[in-house]
Structures are given as structure tokens and as C-alpha cells.
Amino acid sequence: MPSIKGRLETAEDPHALARRAAEWFAQTASVAAGSVRISLSGGSTPKELYMLLAGDDFRARLPWNRMEFFWGDERLVPYDDPASNYRMAAETLLSHVPVPSEHINPVPVNGTPREAAARYERLLKEVYGADRLDPARPLFHIMLLGLGADGHTASLIPGQPVLEERDHWVAAVAEGRPEARVTLTYPAIESSATIAFVATGAEKAKAVRLARAGDPSVPAGRIRTDAEVIWFLDRDALGPG
């Protein structure tokens, strides 16, 4: 399978980048047939993108009744906790648009991390309609991913056992960060029609370069997929050259 070099979409600053990503998202989702399964990313970078999608310029262009939302990872904190990826997406996007409530599928956060991961994997398999991923039938239509300065994406964190997980679609990440997490694994991420990374800031430039080169020293660089891969980068994250 090819690495994730993909194509570049660049902008001068984070605000222009968010608008470019919103235009792409709206176009991609609006032309998709049937149900559109979307995996959202957390963190601070996609906030402006989500706010734009909920605003007047984009809200009417999107087929909300056909869109189904999932998350690439989640901290094991209550949904109303400021650190919750679900809360961020709900406050910036989902509470402002007419998406059916049954189409919103947050990661479970009760029980042990392993129990929460197992429940989310069962949900994904029910939605997908099979226990095995078919390369010809992606699990997700749109996979939004961030990138940390250490090269992590979702909660595929450097040095953690989750980087070797190739059987389960979802896994617990009990160490490596202050709070336990649940994350999609490589097989689930790779089973996407389109993967869009959104990254800003000069501190991300080295990780972007290594990941796009397929360098396995950074978790994002280990992704191998037939998906269309797009890198939305501001000038600082693109780096020199």
C-alpha cells in the first residue's frame, strides 16, 4: 500500500486554511451518495473548521440527514468535561446543525478503557455490517485527523502498544498521556475513502515532513492506505522549501 504523502492544500494562516478545508469538506460530503460516515478529530486545530461548517456559508450546503458522525479518539472523561473531544465538536458544530441525534456516535467513556473500546468497536461493526473490513468498501467516507508535534494522530501515541494493533478496529490507550484514551487503530483509519490531515504551526513542520515520507518513527508515518490523502497545512506547518 502507498504511504500517506498525498496532496497538499496550503494557506497562509490558520483562518484561511480552515476556510479551504471547509470548502473541501462541503463539496466532498454533498456529492457522496447514501449515508456519509465521518470521523471527527479533536484538539484545538479543527475548531474553526467546525464553526465554519455550522455557519451560514456552509450549513445549507451539507446533507445533514445523511451524515453520521464518529470520533477518531476520545479521552476517558465525562462528555461535559472541557477536555472531551465530543464536547468540542458538539459546541462548535453538532449543536448548531440539523443532524439527527441518532447519527451522532460518541466514544463511550464509562467503564474501563478496554470496555469502552470494545463497545465502540461493536458499534462500528454494526454500522459497517461486517466483522471484517473490505478494502473495496471503506468504513469511513471522510476521516479527519490532526497531527501532534510528536507525530501522533488520533491517540496513536509514540511508544505505546497500540501502534502494533492490527486486529482490533478500536483500542484502549492507558498510558502515554495524563488521562486514559480510546482510539481508532490503523486498520479503521486506513479504511477510509478520504483521509484529511489538518495541521497548523511551525512546531508541526518536522512531524508533517516525516509522516508524509512514511517514516515509521512517527505514528502518523505508519499509515498505509489506498485512501485519497489530503494535507491541509498553513505556511508554518508546511515548513521551509
pLDDT tens digits in sequence order for the chain, 241 residues long:
666 889 999 999 999 999 999 999 999 999 988 999 999 999 889 999 999 999 999 999 999 999 999 999 999 999 999 999 999 999 999 999 999 999 999 999 999 999 999 999 999 999 999 999 999 999 999 999 999 999 999 999 999 999 999 999 999 998 767 789 999 999 999 999 999 999 999 999 999 999 999 999 999 999 999 999 999 999 999 988 5
Q: Are 24 and 9 in contact (CB under 8 A)?
A: yes
Cβ count near 175 (within 10 Å): 12
pTM, two decimals, is: 0.95
Alpha-carbon dihedral 38, 236, 5, 199, rounded to 10 degrees? -20
Report the candidate in 19, 12, 72 with the shortest Cα–Cα distance to residue 49.
19
Q: Are 85 and 73 in contact (CB under 8 A)?
A: yes
**Cα 107 from chain centre:** 13
Alpha helices in the chain (DSSP H): 14-31, 47-54, 85-92, 113-128, 186-190, 205-212, 235-238
Catalogue the E-assigned strands of 78-190.
140-145, 170-173, 181-184
3-state secondary structure of 56: coil
